[in-house]
Structure 1
Amino acid sequence: MPEFKILAISGSLRADSHNSALLRAARKHQPAGLAIEIYEDLRAIPPYDLDLDTPEVRPAPVAALRRRVTEADGLLIATPEFNYSVPGVLKNAIDWVSTDWTQREGLPLLRKPVAILGAAPTNFGTVRAQLALRQVFVWTNTDVVVKPEVHLFRSHERFDENGDLTDETSIGLVRELLDALKTKIEGRAAE
């Protein structure tokens, strides 16, 4: 069985982020055949600047992110919700990896399998942020896992004091999402 490389990105910069903890839980509970690598450099990505969006002048952290997205078989994105939408730092990173103005590099997100999940302390979790993110991925023609939807509402009740996901229902949903992502990647690999 081949091992597929998954790049996991948390849309939160907060040290004790439940979304970052959710990615660690995904890595802990990943199915055989997946290798989840958590991206740690979101803070280093500068604001999107079209004048710098060519291979010759692109900032090094952006070039590294684009390379990692391109090399990954799939993406796993954990998004918090800010103002009913995706955090700016996450949207900014997606903007940087969604382009190919020179038409020499290819589009890193084009048909890339991606699964979305999120955690928030509110009663609605990250429903609206995930919807906004799905809309962005329509434009980039990214292959998003549709089901299951993983919205960890009241997330502070699902993690222990060490940041470990302890809620069995949530763990089950994360496993189902990863299985669906793996199936989508296998389908792409068979094309």
Structure 2
Amino acid sequence: MSVHILALVGSLRSGSHNRQLAEAAAKHAPEGVEVTLYEGLAEVPFYNEDIDTDENRPAAATRLRAAAADADAFLLVTPEYNGTMPAVLKNAIDWLSRPFGAGALAGSPTAVVGTAFGQYGGVWAQDDARKSAGIAGATVLEDAKLAIPGSVTRFAETHPADDTEAVTQLRQVLGALAAGIEAPAA
């Protein structure tokens, strides 16, 4: 069985350590697991129920939902901005939570990981992302976590894909997501 995981990265910066972490997940995914980084979150407008209609829905939101519909699970990769997750990631969760109870996140295994400069690796942002995704209906894997502190120094000259410890931990998270698909919650 092949598992398709869609990675949503909360940083729009091309050189972001969180984007690099998602790239590492894609590069080192366990056998039978494919991780795709979603491109285009910057184009998705803020969620507004007035434009979430068949006649008015923005093409960028439709593309996001289509990519999510093709995924078996989600990997949310978030930096920490002012103690919480970036608006772009929260906005993606909002779009994927609709229609309420039947959005793309509903029942989907979801893990949250990330890295940040601070000593805790962005755990506040990750906790907020878990909370938001869970309320949106995702099956959040509370034990599949990875918070890497000191990103600016740790990844200054090493891409996360070349960091043995980070790769090992990412593979564990991805394995948990794959197991969550194979044995869905009762």
Cα distance in structure 1, aligned partners of 2:134 and 2:111: 13
- 1:29-108 aligned within 5 A: 29-100=28-99, 106-108=102-104
Checking the alignment, whether the CA contact within 8 Å between 1:73 and 1:113 is kept in structure 2 is yes
2:116 corresponds in structure 1 to 120
Q: How large is the RMSD of aligned CA atoms in angstroms?
A: 1.9
Cα distance in structure 2, aligned partners of 1:148 and 1:110: 18
Matching residue's letter, 1:75: F
Checking the alignment, whether the CA contact within 8 Å between 1:158 and 1:165 is kept in structure 2 is no
Cα distance in structure 1, aligned partners of 2:15 and 2:117: 13
1:161 corresponds in structure 2 to 157
Cα distance in structure 2, aligned partners of 1:162 and 1:150: 18
> Aligned-pair distance for 1:84?
1.0
Indicate yes or no: 2:110 matched with 1:111: no
Q: How many residues align?
A: 186
1:130 corresponds in structure 2 to 126
Structure 2 residues not aligned, in runs of 5+: none
> Aligned-pair distance for 1:162?
6.5
TM-score normalised over the length of structure 2:
0.92
Cα distance in structure 1, aligned partners of 2:37 and 2:15: 15
TM-score normalised over the length of structure 1:
0.90
Cα distance in structure 1, aligned partners of 2:167 and 2:160: 11
> Aligned-pair distance for 1:130?
0.7
Matching residue's letter, 1:91: K
> Aligned-pair distance for 1:164?
4.3
Cα distance in structure 1, aligned partners of 2:115 and 2:77: 8
Indicate yes or no: 2:146 matched with 1:150: yes
Q: Which of 158, 163, 177 is residue 181 of structure 1 equivalent to?
A: 177
Structure 1 residues not aligned, in runs of 5+: none
Cα distance in structure 1, aligned partners of 2:40 and 2:99: 22
Matching residue's letter, 1:92: N
Give the 3 Å change call, closer, same or farther, for CA 42–178 of structure 1 in structure 2: same
Report the identity percentage: 38
